[in-house]
A and B are shown apart, each in its own frame.
Chain A
Amino acid sequence: MALQLENVTKRFGSFTAVDNLSIEIPEREMFGFLGANGAGKTTTFRMILGLLDASDGRISWDGKKINYDTSHMIGYLPEERGLYPKMKVRDQLVYLARLRGMQKQDILKQIDYWLERFKVPEYATKKVEELSKGNQQKIQFIASVIHKPKLLILDEPFSGLDPVNVELLKEAVVDLKNEGTSIVFSSHRMEHVEELCEHLCIMHHGKPVVHGSLKEIKRSFGKKNVIVHADFDISHLKTLAGVTRVKETAEGLNLQVESEQISQKILDSIVGKGFVRKFVLEEPSLNDIFIEKVGASYE
């Protein structure tokens, strides 16, 4: 069971939202799907869900086209929170899960299980509008996974949650993956992607600009980060050949360098000049890669 996108293109009139995208997501795999706002992520999700038809190319799940006959195998957590504000949590989950083809008895059991797991059993009879944003997000998450989907699309699943609850949801996501669910994970929080995904793809203006396994992407990126904290003036490092990006911090400099070799030149230039409190050579973070490739600053 794998999700396959082959040369998928989507045009709206003269505007091309997704341009020749090919990815494959095997079973038991979490795939990071990144991109700036308007890069074509939501359009891609909608095509995967069958809400939009691709202008070109083919999308298949286990070799078959995804449509409303397969919707019981698919879970979707949209970026924008979508729940009936005036409806009680339990009624709401029952309704949404029945639309995914579940039986009422199973649904009630699953609701109890998930509310318990997310430590909010008392919310079952509350209206959604009475819950905090973070708790609404938990309910939304439950709605997208209650029917044990084989393919799960998570668009910004952790937004609005405090760190404790992020861990709670992350565990649930990892459990689902280990049980065999293929997950498409989209987030602007690069550390989450780095932590959870082995493979990823960065979209820019509808085109995939980076695609592959996380390790591979980092290695082929080439550039490294050097962190230098010293008690003497190290400002000359900023203009050193091979330094591509400089960020001043309170204690020193964070430098991005073209290759590992440059780091040694930096080391040479500061050795013996005074007290060096910190010198670190680092792999580039996904954040760096994203900024480099997409060219927009992101937090």
Chain B
Amino acid sequence: MNKFWIILFHTYVSKLKTKSFIITTLITALIIFGLANIQTIIDKFDEDETTHVAVLSESDELYQAYEQTLSAMSSDIVIEKMEGAEENAQERVTNEELTGYLILTESSEGLPEGVYKAPSITDSEITGQLEQALQQLKVTIATTKAGLTPDQINQLYAPVQFDKVALEENAKSEEELNQARGLVYVLLFVIYFAVIMYANMIAMEVATEKSSRVMEILISSVSPIKQMFGKILGIALLSLTQFAVILLVGYGSLKQSMGGMEGGFFEVFGFGDLPVSTFVYAGVFFILGYFLYATLAAFLGSLVSRIEDVQQMITPMTLLIVAAFMIAMFGLTKPESSAITITSYIPFFAPMIMFLRVGMLTLPTWEIALSIGLLVITITLLAIFGARVYRGGVLMYGKSSSFKDIKKALQITKNDK
């Protein structure tokens, strides 16, 4: 087998077997599974709690009207009319037979009034529904008293007609934009974390080999270039494995609980109709971003002599990723601003910001192609340059670890004739 593949699979398999990898993957999958089923989980806890509210009312008529209004709201509060003194109701509340009780009275103008009493009034859902029902009842009574016909009342309360039309062709509607924003937000986070995590992993891997001096043996059997790219691709394979697991779990559990999440938590994040193209772009931009930063991390890692210095060395790189993420976060609210458009062509920002634009706006193909093209060219240049630094860097041992070492590393491999 080619030595490149030996290195690739060795990197992949040995990282795959590490406890930290297995644990992170499991935890992430669990969180995804939990999120996907959050509606089910919440419902599960709520199931056995039906709300019983007793109503103390002087007039039957008022109670009847109130019950009708409440049931018309399809509320799950069960009310019952209760005769007798307030003390009885209080006792039943103490015995936990009732959630609370409502005292309905009529004011001097003949409008309904209510007092709700319960051990705790923190559940705003119950009080809100009770209040809303009473409010509606009051409006009906008051308008009838004012002599309006039901038709007039309906007219009064009908919502106003208001439509929004985007003049630009293909522009996304406000609703679509909101949906896209949620999904892009989540995927941006994924790209951000994944790029930082895996680029770090590469730098650590290189620095570990260097500081344990196993590097000298490795480079005497395999060329540093093969070694560097074997490693980068091995870790890429690792990241894809992790994503595959997470995506499978996520997709599976989303499909399963798709029915139960109408109008729920997911609508907010725009998972209603999963747009496949956004996921594909997320994948493409993650891979490009990974290669860009992994190459950078590999040659930065090759410059340090001790593992302790790795973080210091790659801090500027990490800051670059953080900056890209910050700009992208700003862009979520203003994806069309010119700052976002410009930065989406800068290779170090493009993986996140171009993805943001692709996910939120409808872009002409050439813009996407241009950004990806620039990114690919930068990766290639960085790989060629990085490989040269790496070749010298792995041979260098010294106290200092600074960017001046890049020059030194290049000098080592240079042929001084």
Contact = CB atoms under 8 A, between A and B. Distances in A.
Contacts of A31: none
Interface stretch (B51-59, B109-117, B131-139, B207-215): B207-215
A192 to B, nearest CB: 22
Interface of B: 1, 3, 6-7, 10, 14, 208-209, 212-223, 395, 411-413, 415-417
Contact of A12 (B209, B213, B222, B416): B416
B212 A53 contact: no
Nearest to B397: A80
Contact of B220 (A49, A83, A95, A98): A49
A160 interface: no
Secondary structure of the B side of the interface? helix
Contacts of B209: 84
A96 B212 contact: no
A209 interface: no
B213 A80 contact: yes
B213 A81 contact: yes
A131 interface: no
Contact of A11 (B10, B212, B213, B416): B416
A53 B1 CA distance: 27
B395 to A, nearest CB: 6
B213 A99 contact: no
A36 interface: no
25 contacts: A13-B411, A46-B395, A51-B220, A52-B395, A52-B412, A53-B413, A53-B415, A55-B417, A68-B222, A71-B221, A76-B217, A80-B213, A82-B213, A82-B215, A83-B212, A84-B208, A84-B212, A84-B214, A85-B212, A95-B6, A96-B221, A98-B1, A99-B7, A100-B221, A144-B217
Nearest to A43: B395
A136 B214 CA distance: 12
The 8 closest A-B pairs by CB, nearest first: A82-B213, A99-B221, A82-B214, A80-B213, A78-B216, A55-B416, A76-B220, A11-B416
Contacts of B219: 51
A95 B10 contact: yes
Contacts of B417: 55-56
A71 B224 CA distance: 13
B216 A76 contact: yes
Contact size range, A: 20 to 34
Given A81-B213, A99-B6, A99-B221, A55 B415 contact: yes
Given A52-B413, A99-B222, 10 more contacts: A46-B395, A51-B220, A52-B412, A55-B416, A82-B216, A84-B214, A87-B14, A96-B221, A99-B6, A99-B221
A143 interface: yes
B6 to A, nearest CB: 5
Interface string A72-98: 001010101111110100000001101
Nearest to B218: A99
Contacts of A52: 395, 412-413
Nearest to A56: B417
A129 B148 CA distance: 90
Interface string A212-253: 000000000000000000000000000000000000000000
Contacts of A78: 213, 216-217
A62 to B, nearest CB: 18
Contacts of A13: 411, 416
A53 B417 CA distance: 10
A170 B412 CA distance: 34
A100 to B, nearest CB: 5
Interface in A176-235: none
Nearest to B217: A82
Nearest to A104: B1
A98 B6 contact: yes
Contacts of A87: 14
A71 B213 contact: no
Contacts of B218: 96, 99
Interface in A142-194: 143-144
A87 B214 CA distance: 12
Instruction: Pick the most buried of A96, A99, A143: most chain B CB atoms within 10 A of its CB.
Output: A99
A55 B209 CA distance: 28
B231 to A, nearest CB: 13
B221 A80 contact: no
Nearest to B14: A87
